[in-house]
Amino acid sequence: MDNDVKVLKQIIKYCEGIKNAMDRFGSDEEDFLDDIEYQYTCSFCISQIGEMVKRLSLKTTERHQEVPWSKVSGMRDIIAHEYGNVNLNIVWVTVSERIPILKDACEDILRELETT
């Protein structure tokens, strides 16, 4: 469980990195689509989040099936291996809608793990 605590903290850090990018570059899809540095910043964070998810224990991922862990790691694989074919509209939805939900879920799981 100690490893899961470290991993969840890293995931949260990268989620916060995306929020910081939105604060810096803009919170509008057009801002995102028009700025390659914004796209790269968010894509890197998504990739790191997906990599971290793969390091969580089976016990934690099975206990928290409300989080779509395989979709999170799958998004990382798409970004890492098929970047030229990545649909930026899907990345934007991930950044603007799904990452905040993932962050909240990871914070809840982290609190649970730290109190047990």
**15-24 per-position pLDDT tens digit:** 999 999 999 9
Q: Which two tokens stand for residue 23?
A: 């604060």
Phi, psi at 76, each rounded to 5°: -60, -45
- SS3 labels along 26-81: CCCHHHHHHCHHHHHHHHHHHHHHHHHHCCCCHHHHHHCCCCCHHHHHHHHHHHHH
Rounded mean pLDDT, 25-39: 96
Q: Look over the chain and give the mean of its residue pLDDT values, rounded to a whole number.
A: 95
Look at residue 1 and tell me whether its pLDDT is greater than 70.
no
3-state secondary structure of 86: coil
3-state secondary structure of 23: helix
Q: For residue 42, what are the domain limits?
A: 2-115
What's the pLDDT tens digit per position in 54-82?
999 999 999 999 999 999 999 999 999 98
Q: What's the DSSP call for residue 95?
A: I
Cβ-based neighbour number of residue 14 at 10 Å: 22
Domains of the chain: total: 1
Of the chain, the end-to-end C-alpha distance in Å amounts to: 10
